[in-house]
Chains A and B, each alone.
Chain A
Amino acid sequence: MYASMHENTALDAARTLVRAATGHQAGGVSTLMLEQQVCAEAGLWETAAARRALDQSHGDTPHAVSMLRVWAATQPHVHAVTVAPDDVAVVRRLSSAYPEIPGGQWLGFSPDLAPRQLNWSQAPSVEEVGSTADATATAATVSDAPTRGGVPRVRDLINGVSMVPQPDDGAGEDPAHTVLVPPFTRACRLGLLARGETGALVALAALILGRRQEAVLVELTVGVARIRIPHPRTEAPCAVVDVPITEVEVVLDADVDGKPGLAMGWGASMGTVERRGISLALLDAAMQADGELREQLVLDEQTIIAATDGSATNGFVEHLRLPHYAGFAAYLAQAAVKQAR
């Protein structure tokens, strides 16, 4: 359980998971999260290629992303079948909006448990390449992981407050396959943003977060999605790959019909770089709350300095993982009073 961390065997298991997550080694240095970030920004899940690109670009992340996209651009494109909820195994799940949620919370691979103090006595860990432990290997090894279809959505618990209606403007196009032109549908917008650069997403999300009254992470899940493509001859869906996905839903305060309500934002990113998913959800919620971010953003020195302070913006965006239920209950209570009026 996340919000309430009593010492037990599950917690020990979670710590072991974080310690063991050495992932793939490049010269004795774990580049697990960096590979995932490069893949997410490239919009292409192939960690081995990302590792190769990182090596050949001497660790220059934007260069490595570019190499992956250049490589993918000339590959044949196969349309995948829409992922079914039962094909997503959930390996980590938490909510900041309620102390306890139906279906429970699981720490899983929790970045918060990794120490932030540099350990000088420990040599860079050198293990054999391709060691099995990584953030999502649990899905393969933990056969009893529940599926997304079998776990209720935390958003369904929110009641007594009006929500900004979500635009129903159809399925999106694949930005890797089609040239998208504005105005974008919400799905296209989400698809484009999902490949956004991590730092840029976090900086914009932190700007939004600093101006809001209420921002609560309703649900964060890390799951492993089984991707299927239609068989070229029989058309029967065949599983081809398992891709880790971070899916996040947040709510922001918003005015609905002149009364305080909530805007529900959704974000999903490949890999387990959770700040990407949280930022995407925040940006989506802000765009729903204020149309096209109508609130004027003045680029004065204070705003620019605040948005470029990486440790502050990353920490602030990721702090949404902390429990927020006391403040959330307070917001819901005042919104309910005004609804009744």
Chain B
Amino acid sequence: MSTPNQPQTVAGLAAAHGKPEAYAYLDEDTKRNVRRAILKALAIPGWQVPFASREMPVARGWGSGGLQVTLSVVGPTDIVKVIDQGDDFSVNAVGMRNLISASAQCEATTSTPAATIIQSRHRIPDTDLRADQLLVLQVPHPEPLRRVVPDDVAALACHAERDYTPAWLDLYDAQARLGGPRTGADHPVLVAGARLMSPSPIPRHDVMRLNQRAHPILLGAGRRARLTALPPYTSVEPLAFDDRPLEPERPDGPCHRCGSSTSYRVPTDGAGVAALVWCCSDVDACGARVGAAE
């Protein structure tokens, strides 16, 4: 097999596992393409890099971009966690976790601290990640200017010239007319003070936690075939005026399971209770708090 001087190859890993199909589902050409796009994206934080997005065994818009990123970087010693809105047991998350762990012969977990790769849809885990962990986000709309500059070519020119006037004007319009930005999730961010980026539809609570993270974040948009990356310790600021900072969501009550009043909470049906109750959207972190309290 591989000696220390000889790097492992995909084909070598496949043969070692006696698998006729490629290791980790994707063929070597695709993996090479995605990895090159990842490297380029890491070199230009916040820049949208096109990549050869393949038709995946999940539908377009169901995390095909995140899945291709994860499958391109996963190895046999990795431990993979997949969450959807913070929940490990969503149908789609379960399907992708099974596909990754089966095709890459690696371990799967639902515990955030135990995982080495965390693929997530629309949430950043409540538990802060370490430098040796990787966060992969699934992105529906990689272009932050899509509503104000519908033409992709014009939007590319805006990025090249760092001219985000349309986005600032839109923000000013919302401030003047409505008294604040109209974005719920997916509030655009300025990366390294220069490039505007869509952080994927994470709530504002998570947008404000993106700055100076110790771990890399890779954002894959399969339908739009774009890859974006945030290397560790990148400055990430939400697009906002100096005297009008972005406000996080303010849930009306603590989580009805763990009692946390600092986590990101969503309203849900409180079995038996007439009104809606609040619960943490990050199921693993919530469970850990409940376990610690008992």
CA distance A100 to B122 in the complex (A): 18
CA distance A233 to B53 in the complex (A): 64
B266 beta carbon closer than 8 Å to chain A: yes
Provide a sorted-by-A list of 16 A–B residue pairs whose CB atoms are within 8 angstroms: A2-B91, A99-B266, A112-B95, A116-B57, A157-B276, A214-B184, A258-B177, A312-B61, A315-B62, A316-B61, A326-B281, A327-B203, A334-B183, A334-B204, A337-B179, A337-B247
Asked whether A327 and B268 contact (CB < 8 A) given A2-B91, A315-B223, A338-B179, the answer is no
B151 beta carbon closer than 8 Å to chain A: yes
Q: How far is the CB of B210 from chain A (nearest CB, A)?
A: 15
B31 beta carbon closer than 8 Å to chain A: no
A115 beta carbon closer than 8 Å to chain B: yes
Residue of A nearest to B56 (CB): A116
A98 beta carbon closer than 8 Å to chain B: yes
Among A55-63, A286-294, A317-325, the stretch in contact with B: A317-325
B271 beta carbon closer than 8 Å to chain A: yes
- CB of B186 within 8 A of CB of A327, answer yes
Number of interface residues of A (CB under 8 A): 53
B55 neighbours in A (Cβ, 8 Å): 311
- CB of A329 within 8 A of CB of B249, answer yes
Is the contact region of chain B dominated by helix, strand, or loop, or is it mixed? loop
Q: Which chain B residues in 25-69 approach chain A with CB under 8 Å?
A: 55, 57-62, 64
- CB of A213 within 8 A of CB of B87, answer no
Q: Which chain A residues in 295-341 approach chain B with CB under 8 Å?
A: 298, 300, 302, 311-312, 314-316, 318-319, 322-335, 337-338, 341
B279 neighbours in A (Cβ, 8 Å): 99
Residue of A nearest to B187 (CB): A330
B268 neighbours in A (Cβ, 8 Å): 98-100, 325
A231 beta carbon closer than 8 Å to chain B: no
A4 beta carbon closer than 8 Å to chain B: yes
- CB of B61 within 8 A of CB of A337, answer no
B203 neighbours in A (Cβ, 8 Å): 326-327, 329-330
- CB of A331 within 8 A of CB of B178, answer no
B122 neighbours in A (Cβ, 8 Å): 324, 326-327
B17 beta carbon closer than 8 Å to chain A: no
B89 beta carbon closer than 8 Å to chain A: yes
Listed in ascending order, the chain A residues whose CB lies under 8 Å from chain B are 2-6, 98-102, 107, 110, 112-113, 115-117, 157, 210-211, 213-214, 253, 258-260, 298, 300, 302, 311-312, 314-316, 318-319, 322-335, 337-338, 341
B232 beta carbon closer than 8 Å to chain A: no
Q: How far is the CB of B61 from chain A (nearest CB, A)?
A: 4
CA distance A312 to B178 in the complex (A): 34
- CB of A333 within 8 A of CB of B223, answer no
Asked whether A334 and B184 contact (CB < 8 A) given A314-B60, A327-B203, the answer is yes
B94 neighbours in A (Cβ, 8 Å): 5
The 7 closest A-B pairs by CB, nearest first: A331-B184, A315-B60, A315-B59, A327-B185, A319-B61, A330-B203, A330-B184
Number of interface residues of B (CB under 8 A): 59
B181 beta carbon closer than 8 Å to chain A: yes
- CB of B60 within 8 A of CB of A326, answer no
- CB of A323 within 8 A of CB of B85, answer yes
Residue of B nearest to A298 (CB): B150
CA distance A4 to B205 in the complex (A): 23
Residue of A nearest to B207 (CB): A330
Chain B 277-293 interface mask (CB, 8 Å, partner A; 1/0): 00101010000000000
Q: How far is the CB of B163 from chain A (nearest CB, A)?
A: 20
CA distance A107 to B92 in the complex (A): 13
Q: How far is the CB of B19 from chain A (nearest CB, A)?
A: 15
Residue of B nearest to A110 (CB): B91
CA distance A211 to B141 in the complex (A): 10
Residue of A nearest to B62 (CB): A319
B180 neighbours in A (Cβ, 8 Å): 334, 337-338
Asked whether A333 and B60 contact (CB < 8 A) given A302-B151, A322-B84, the answer is no
B128 beta carbon closer than 8 Å to chain A: no
- CB of A333 within 8 A of CB of B90, answer no
CA distance A328 to B265 in the complex (A): 11
Q: How far is the CB of A308 from chain B (nearest CB, A)?
A: 13
Centre residue among B57, B85, B183 by max chain A CB count within 10 A:
B85
- CB of A100 within 8 A of CB of B269, answer yes
- CB of A326 within 8 A of CB of B123, answer yes
Asked whether A99 and B281 contact (CB < 8 A) given A258-B177, A260-B178, the answer is yes
Q: How far is the CB of B69 from chain A (nearest CB, A)?
A: 17
B250 neighbours in A (Cβ, 8 Å): 333
- CB of B91 within 8 A of CB of A112, answer yes
- CB of A98 within 8 A of CB of B59, answer no
- CB of B62 within 8 A of CB of A327, answer no
Asked whether A326 and B269 contact (CB < 8 A) given A319-B61, A334-B180, the answer is no
Q: A312-B60, A332-B184 are in contact. List 10 more A-B contacts (CB 8 A).
A: A99-B266, A213-B183, A298-B150, A316-B140, A318-B61, A319-B62, A323-B84, A326-B201, A326-B266, A330-B203
